[in-house]
Amino acid sequence: MDTLDWEDKNNALPESDPRKNWRVVDILELKTKFNDNVEELPDFVQDYIDALESTLNAALAAHTDNTSNPHDVTKTQVGLGNVDNTSDVNKPVSTAQAAADALKANIASPTFTGVPAGPTAAPGTNTTQLATTAFVEAVKALLPLLTSFVWNEVPSGTINGVNDTFTLSATPLVGANGKSNLMIFSAILLSGEGEDYTQTGPNIVFNTPPEIGTNLRAFFMK
C-alpha cells in the first residue's frame, strides 16, 4: 500500500474510527510486531502448557496424597455404617459368641456336665493323665491276677539234706497246657516239674533232697 492509496482510504474513514489519521509507517510497524509475535507464539504456548501441566500434576499429587479425607466421605457412603472405631481389646462379643462361650468349661477347676469323654490310657500308665472309667475297669480286671500272684515264697519244710518234701501256701494254677505255672529257684531256676521235682497240689517232692544252706524260693499263680 503506498501513501496515496492510504490517504484515500484514510480520508474515507469516519472521524470516530481509531484508524483514521494512521500513518503508513505506523501500519508497517504494527505489521512487523505482529509477525514477530506470531513466530514466537508456538514456544510461548508450549511453555504455558508445560507450566500448566506441572501445576496440575502437583495439585493432583497433593490431592491423592491427602489422607485427611478431603471430600468428607462418611462410613455410610462406603457401606460401613455399622462399623465402630473400637480397638480389638475393647471389641464386644456377639450374642451368638457369648452363648457359645457360656457352654465352655474353664481351664482352672472346670465343672463338667453330661457325659464327658477322654482318651483311655493303657494299664500301667503312671502319669498325670486323667483316668477314664475304661482305664479303671481295665486295672480292676488285673487285680485278681495281682492278688493271686505269689511272689518269692519260702516253701515250708526242713532243709537238711534228707527231707525232700515241702509245702506251698496254695496250689499253683494249672495253665491251658495242663502244666503248673510254678517256678522254683535255689541258686538257679530249677528245670521244673518232672525233672527236679514233682508237684501234687501244694506239695513239692524233690528228686534230690536240698542240701543244707540251699535257699529255696517259689513263684506261682494260685
Q: For 131-176, what is each residue's pLDDT tens digit? A: 898 888 887 777 766 668 888 899 999 999 999 999 999 999 887 7
pLDDT of residue 1: 44
Domain containing 217 equals: 148-222
pTM confidence score: 0.38
Q: How many helices (H) and strands (E) does the chain have?
A: 4, 6
**Number of compact structural domains in the chain:** 2
Domain end marker among 33, 64, 95: 64
Residue 88, domain member (yes or no): no
| Whole-angstrom distance, CA of residue 141 vs CA of residue 143 | 6
Residue position matching grid coordinates 501513501: 3
C-alpha cell of 159?
Answer: 532243709
Residue 92, domain member (yes or no): no
Does the structure show a pLDDT above 90 at 209? yes
Residue 47, domain member (yes or no): yes
Beta-carbon contacts of residue 99 (< 8 Å; ≥ 6 apart): none
Q: Is 220 helix (H, G, I), strand (E, B) or coil?
A: strand
| Whole-angstrom distance, CA of residue 174 vs CA of residue 181 | 6
Residue 36, domain member (yes or no): yes
Residue 210, domain member (yes or no): yes
Residue 101, domain member (yes or no): no
Residue 124, domain member (yes or no): no
